Amino acid sequence: MQSEDAPLKIKDPKTWAAGTPAVISSLKQVMSTAGPIRGTKALLELNQTDGFDCPSCAWPDPDDHRAMTEFCENGAKAIASEATTKVIDEHFFANHSIEEMSEQSDYWHDQQGRLTSPMVLREGATHYEPITWEAAFDLMADELKGLDHPDEAIFYTSGRTSNEAAFLYQLFTRHYGTNNLPDCSNMCHESSGSALGPAIGIGKGTVTLDDLHTADVIICVGQNPGTNHPRMLASLEKCISNGGEVVAINPLREAGLLGFAHPQKISGMLNQASPLADLYLQVKMNGDMAIFRGVAKTIFARDEAAPVSVIDRDFIDEHTAGFDAYAEACTASSWDQITQDSGITREEIELLADKIIAKDKKLITCWAMGLTQHKNSVDTIREVTNVHLLIGAIGRSGAGVCPVRGHSNVQGDRTMGIYEKSPESFHLGLERAFQFKSPRKHGYDVVEAIHAMHKGDAKFFLAMGGNFLQAAPDTKFTAAALRKCNLTAHVVTKLNRSQLVTGKIGLILPCLGRTETDMQKAGRQFITCENSMGIVHMSTGRLKPISTHLMSEPAIVAHLANKVIGNTKVIDWLAFADDYDLIRDAIESAISGFENFNIRVRKSGGFYLQNNAKDRIWDTPNNKANFGNAALSIFKKKDNKHLILQTLRSHDQYNTTIYGLDDRYRGIGNQRKIIFLNPEDMKERRIKPVQKLRITSHWDDGQRHAEGFLAIPYEMPRGAAAAYFPEANVLIPIDSTADTSNTPTSKAVEISLEVM
Ligand SMILES: Nc1nc2c(c(=O)[nH]1)N[C@H]1C(S)=C(S)[C@@H](COP(=O)(O)OP(=O)(O)OC[C@H]3O[C@@H](n4cnc5c(=O)[nH]c(N)nc54)[C@H](O)[C@@H]3O)O[C@H]1N2
Ligand SMILES: Nc1nc2c(c(=O)[nH]1)N[C@H]1C(S)=C(S)[C@@H](COP(=O)(O)OP(=O)(O)OC[C@H]3O[C@@H](n4cnc5c(=O)[nH]c(N)nc54)[C@H](O)[C@@H]3O)O[C@H]1N2
Ligand SMILES: [Mo]
């Protein structure tokens, strides 16, 4: 464990990612926590077709050839965190009061090891105490049966949950009578779904790995793949070696977008990095809509000037609606506004447009949280899609849109119905298969769930994974909301702060991790996941479970449902827990696209889910792909002297799980409470490097504060600032959310600074 008192170390930011430092870091992490035998076994099974799916990100595995080491540094860290041999047992909880544990950092929490048996925090108690599974289920069932209305219960899901567990969970929730199924997606790619649904009829990406390898241009916008999707770098490299180009759009110069040393190649092991981004646009915070509008304007201009059409008129005529209104919106956006909003020159935007149309217009745009967590995210993502529609760069080889998913099964969870507002077709499928009345009233998303608990409208909170308190915005407000519940319960693998801020009663329900063998009555079970490209595949745990008292996620849901609902004419809940093939049969009977699920998923590599947009079939109300025509917008500060803070991930964390205290690529060691600032902005405010700051965020309902953040000068546009999530979440106002998707604006918080 790193010392949390070690002094801050600062180095120059790196200009390439991976190479031997990544391999060394992987091995060090895994071997030090899991030991050589368990550690080596874990790494060899990772992402192999008969092994387990990496619990880290949702980047797909190669369809054909898998290297023995098909993992990345951060996948290895995720494994190390889960496969650790350190355990938290009853004695740990007897020795550590809630108050004591609350004073420790998130890093400390993760370092304590795996949770091993169910625990309860009784009303007024200072310590968790042991409880049997049976008694824990009874507590929850009594609480649920005692509520005035099913809508007083909230069922949260984090995106590591398997398809099998997720399907059972929503089936139980809907039998219970509510759609209160908020999930981490609400804070993540919800804006992508909200934009892509009306535009192309499906809230998912439309490309495969092969498409990435054969694209002319890949734009990575609002995404830091070097840290968050490291295996994507191999695809970017392959695209370049096939003659394609990579363009980065990001306020920060991220190492993983600048260069890559492939750890599975000799050159990479010698740390010979190949350059990645050919063009790097250091956009102002939230200036992306302007860039894409500028690209469209350039394409219109080139089209007018060229003898042959640059715009794909055949595609537009046959496949789209709303072109004229979009063309008008482009005319209405001035270059002055575009360059002012984006901070990028007209020449550079034109250069980008010219790259896109130079060859076959095989464009892929990849994005993540830098686009989704802004007020105007949905309009921005519509604008990205508009550019694709303009040149027909969708639904053909080497071209399409690629929202790069976060959690390894967040996309699958949605497919399984973890959604507070599932479409009518989904409910009809459930009703047909299970002969019950599925409730239609929309449930709460994350932000609405927090408000409901705060107001006392919701009293029961169950989390299937995740760390709700730390992941949600406005930490103090969210804590107050959770404290108002009668009961809060968490199905988790590791201790986190959400278990320390509880309702009157708190429950810890420790479950098997994805790396571990899952033995049930019918024998060894596997689960399935859907990756970022819509491939459903199996994952089989191979390590010995860290404790004999763990239950699997599907078994926990089945037992709870058995207590609360009991068997129905067509459902035997406990049978589902005995044999997951039965859950997969149930999925097949209720959700289209899963025909012969049990057979197809057993084939090596799994199967692609039907994605109509890939075939240029548009499941929109008008059966067309629709252009958006929103006016240009950008985040407006109330006070011009203020800065815009984004909250992002360091290289040593997985969301709220803190693996270490460094951010190697950005040159930071031993410290997480830092704020990156533009050097000129610092000078203007008389802030010296590493001075301690108090940050104040400003919102309609008042101010929020965070103290003790060290100022780090960093190359970024004027007016931008960056601090790590979750430490900075106290600053994010609960009601500052994206239009339509209601995603917290974690990448745009108006702040001021004071030297402490
Ligand atoms: N190792 C590791 N892997 C992960 C995760 C992790 O925590 N650790 N988390 C997983 C999850 S759930 C997710 S959702 C993904 C997240 O993956 P990312 O979205 O890459 O994660 P962030 O750290 O939030 O990075 C946001 C990036 O967007 C940029 N950005 C911020 N604002 C803007 C803007 O206005 N415009 C543009 N163009 N760029 C902007 C930031 O500078 C940063 O590079 O990663 C997944 N994979
Ligand atoms: N300020 C700010 N806030 C953000 C973001 C941001 O960029 N900035 N990003 C948002 C995003 S993109 C996301 S996805 C959310 C993430 O929100 P969550 O998904 O709620 O949070 P995680 O940190 O991924 O959850 C980690 C916990 O999951 C549990 N866990 C790990 N593996 C398993 C498992 O196999 N089963 C079960 N049952 N539990 C397991 C462990 O106990 C661990 O402590 O945070 C959001 N919050
Ligand atoms: Mo995410």
DSSP letters along 604-636, please? Answer: TT-EEPP-GGGGT---STTSSEE---PPP----
Under 8 Å CB-to-CB from 284, ≥6 apart: which residues? 251, 341, 342, 343, 717, 719, 720
Q: For helices 580-590 and 163-176, give the axis angle rounded to 10 degrees.
A: 70
Ligand 2, pocket-test mutation among 88, 184, 551, most atoms within 8 A of CB: 184
Query: Could you tell me if 373 and 743 are in contact, meaning their C-beta atoms sit under 8 angstroms apart?
Result: yes
Distance (Å, whole) CA 744 – CA 742: 6
Pairing of strands 505-510, 119-121: antiparallel
CATH number listed for the domain at residues 643-755: 2.40.40.20
CA–centroid distance, residue 225 to ligand 3 (Å) = 13
Ligand nearest to the CA of 646: 1
Instruction: Report which protein residue has its CA nearest ligand 1's atom 44.
Output: 224
Note the pLDDT of residue 363: 98
Distance (Å, whole) CA 551 – CA 580: 14
- Structure tokens that stand for 416 in this block: 């399984």
CA–centroid distance, residue 467 to ligand 2 (Å) = 5
Ligand 2, pocket-test mutation among 413, 656, 658, most atoms within 8 A of CB: 656
Note the pLDDT of residue 68: 46
Note the pLDDT of residue 37: 76
697 lines ligand 2 (CB under 6 A): no
Instruction: Report which protein residue has its CA nearest ligand 1's atom 8.
Output: 654
Note the pLDDT of residue 31: 77
Instruction: Report which protein residue has its CA nearest ligand 1's atom 42.
Output: 252
CA–centroid distance, residue 479 to ligand 1 (Å) = 25
CATH number listed for the domain at residues 87-188+409-602: 3.40.50.740
CA–centroid distance, residue 575 to ligand 1 (Å) = 40
Note the pLDDT of residue 424: 97
Ligand 1, pocket-test mutation among 161, 189, 280, 369, most atoms within 8 A of CB: 369
26 lines ligand 2 (CB under 6 A): no
Query: Could you tell me if 697 and 733 are in contact, meaning their C-beta atoms sit under 8 angstroms apart?
Result: yes
443 lines ligand 2 (CB under 6 A): no
Note the pLDDT of residue 331: 97
Owner of token pair 């974690």:
746
Output the ligand 1 site: residues, CB below 6 A: 56-57, 74, 188, 221-224, 227-229, 249-252, 254, 283, 285-286, 288, 368-370, 406-407, 646, 648-649, 653-655, 747
CA–centroid distance, residue 405 to ligand 3 (Å) = 7
Distance (Å, whole) CA 125 – CA 89: 18
CA–centroid distance, residue 183 to ligand 2 (Å) = 10
259 lines ligand 2 (CB under 6 A): no
What residues does each domain of the chain span?
87-188+409-602, 190-403, 643-755
CA–centroid distance, residue 99 to ligand 2 (Å) = 23
466 lines ligand 2 (CB under 6 A): yes
Q: What atom of ligand 2 comes closest to residue 490's alpha carbon?
A: 38
Distance (Å, whole) CA 683 – CA 695: 17
- Structure tokens that stand for 298 in this block: 């350039």
Under 8 Å CB-to-CB from 336, ≥6 apart: which residues? none
CA–centroid distance, residue 472 to ligand 2 (Å) = 9
Q: Does residue 363 sit in helix, strand or coil?
A: strand
Instruction: Give the architecture (CATH level 2) of 190-403.
Output: 3-Layer(aba) Sandwich (3.40)
Note the pLDDT of residue 65: 54
Q: What atom of ligand 2 comes closest to residue 491's alpha carbon?
A: 38
- Structure tokens that stand for 23 in this block: 């391999």
Q: What atom of ligand 2 comes closest to residue 655's alpha carbon?
A: 23
746 lines ligand 2 (CB under 6 A): yes
The ranges of the chain with pLDDT < 70 are 63-71
Ligand 1, pocket-test mutation among 220, 367, 648, most atoms within 8 A of CB: 648
Q: Does residue 174 sit in helix, strand or coil?
A: helix
CA–centroid distance, residue 406 to ligand 3 (Å) = 4
Which amino acid belongs to residue 734? I
Closest by Cα among 358, 360, 359, 357 to 387: 357
510 lines ligand 2 (CB under 6 A): no
CA–centroid distance, residue 741 to ligand 2 (Å) = 19
CA–centroid distance, residue 746 to ligand 3 (Å) = 11
What are the backbone angles phi and psi of residue 297, rounded to the nearest 5°?
-60, -40
Ligand nearest to the CA of 468: 2
- Structure tokens that stand for 154 in this block: 């909230």
656 lines ligand 2 (CB under 6 A): yes
Q: What atom of ligand 1 comes closest to residue 747's alpha carbon?
A: 32
Q: What atom of ligand 2 comes closest to residue 492's alpha carbon?
A: 39
Ligand nearest to the CA of 228: 1
Instruction: Report which protein residue has its CA nearest ligand 1's atom 27.
Output: 223
Distance (Å, whole) CA 499 – CA 86: 19
Note the pLDDT of residue 71: 63
494 lines ligand 2 (CB under 6 A): yes
Query: Could you tell me if 297 and 291 are in contact, meaning their C-beta atoms sit under 8 angstroms apart?
Result: no
182 lines ligand 2 (CB under 6 A): no
Q: What atom of ligand 2 comes closest to residue 464's alpha carbon?
A: 38
Q: Given this chain, do its domains 87-188+409-602 and 643-755 carry the same CATH topology?
A: no
CA–centroid distance, residue 211 to ligand 3 (Å) = 23
492 lines ligand 2 (CB under 6 A): yes
User: Can you give the pTM of this predicted structure?
Assistant: 0.97
